[in-house]
Amino acid sequence: MNPIRRALLATPLLAAAPALAQGFAPQRPVRIVVPFAAGASMDSIARLMARGLEPRWHQPVVVENRTGAGGNVGAQAVAQAAPDGHTLLIAAAGMMTVSPHLYRDLPFDLVRDLAPVAMLGSIPNVMVVPASSPVRDVAGFLAAARAAARPFTYGSPGSGSYIHVTGALFARETGLPAEHVAYRGSAPALVDLVAGRIDVMFENLPGALPFIRDGRLRALAVTSPARSPFLPEVPSTAEAGLPGVQAVAWFAAYAPGRTDAATRARIAEDLAAVQRGEEAARGLGNLGLTVEVMGPGELGAMVDRERARFGEIVRGANITLD
């Protein structure tokens, strides 16, 4: 049996219960599932939201880390939970836009069995090269890559990751030959990039920022429509002449797929109130995130568009999890 499917099938099913008919008023502790380990950005976001929601809901809000299978173990736990608003998932962009094109043998459906609730924050990826590189900007990178006798190499924390797909998008939009180098996490990839063993990386901004600030890496562009307030001196890819190279990582709250619209709308309102609060805004900013308020309808439409766009990239680059 596929090892990812085995891990997911080992996850206990949660009892189903009818959704609340109108609105949402928690009747017991609320659980926020984080599908990655404690200490990650996603975990910090969940805990910020939990602290802000508790005084509003007058119930404990517990963060539970359910790791495994690229985030799908945690996602399955929420997909199979009672659709009554008492179980939420913190999902990342790659889980909802890239993973549906890569995981074909899941015992649940990432699109059908999870329902959008609210956007929480976003970060761009940043195109970085070693500080030792003679390349100073995107135009210089393109010129050097075209003059080289080999494909440019780009690293990522693993095949099928959002960072991998961003690199594939860059290669597609520029028409440059490229070679992907997969690592087990961003840390070893960044070490090799600093040492010049790979040419470039499209790392999440918070992961790259310490290396940029201490002079070990040089930022060429951020992959967002506009410049990032955390690197205001670095142009966007659109400014650099590549408007098609956009990949903004985001984090959002999701609920079990059968959760009714009124419940999700009410939770989104409460999350928006927390996001606008001083503590959460400061905490998200410290993580390198830009706060974005977006309810279920707008979030769902955006994710549908991005899922279709990234599906084309995945298929065009023949990205698999083999």
Mapped onto helix, strand or coil, the DSSP state of residue 220 is strand
Stretch 124-137: mean pLDDT: 97
pLDDT of residue 69: 86
> Which region among 8-22, 277-291, 304-318 has the lowest average model confidence (pLDDT)?
8-22
- Above 50 in pLDDT, residue 165? yes
pLDDT of residue 203 exceeding 90:
yes
Task: Please give the average per-residue pLDDT across 13-37, as a whole number.
Answer: 71
Mean residue pLDDT across the chain: 92
Residue 22, pLDDT score: 54
124-222: same fold as 3-122+249-316? yes
The mean per-residue pLDDT over the stretch 115-130 comes to: 96
Greater confidence (229 vs 6) lies with 229
pLDDT, position 7: 43
pLDDT range class, residue 9, cuts 50, 70, 90? very low
Give the pLDDT score at 23: 66
Of the chain, the percentage scoring pLDDT greater than 90 comes to 85
* pLDDT over 90 (residue 194): yes
Contact 23, 267 (CB under 8 A): no
Task: Look at residue 16 and tell me whether its pLDDT is greater than 90.
Answer: no
Quick: pLDDT tens for 264-295. Answer: 999 999 999 999 999 998 999 888 899 999 99
pTM comes to: 0.88
Q: Which two tokens stand for residue 5?
A: 């499917």
Nearest-angstrom CA–CA distance, 273 and 293: 9
- Reply yes or no on whether the pLDDT at 137 is more than 60: yes
Whole-angstrom CA distances from 33 to 73, 89, 90, 255, 291 are 10, 5, 6, 10, 20
| CB contact at 8 A, 280 and 48 | yes
Measured distance CA(312)–CA(69) in Å, rounded: 23
pLDDT bin (cut points 50, 70, 90) of residue 59 is very high
State the residue for tokens 């780009």.
154
pLDDT of residue 322: 60
- Kindly tell me if the per-residue pLDDT of 314 is higher than 60: yes
Contact between 28 and 82 under an 8 Å Cβ cutoff? The reply is no
**Closest by alpha carbon to 85, among 27, 165, 128?**
27
Domain 3-122+249-316 has CATH 3.40.190.150: yes
**pLDDT of 13 above 50:** no
Per-residue model confidence (pLDDT) at position 104: 82
CATH code for the part of the protein at 124-222? 3.40.190.10
- 211-236 mean pLDDT: 96
Instruction: Give me the residue spans of the domains in the chain.
Output: 3-122+249-316, 124-222
pLDDT for residue 19: 38
Average confidence (pLDDT) over 201-228:
96
The Cα–Cα gap between 205 and 41 comes to 12
What does the buried/exposed string (b/e) look like for 250-262 if buried means 16 or more CB atoms within 10 Å of the residue's CB?
Answer: bbbbbbbbebbee
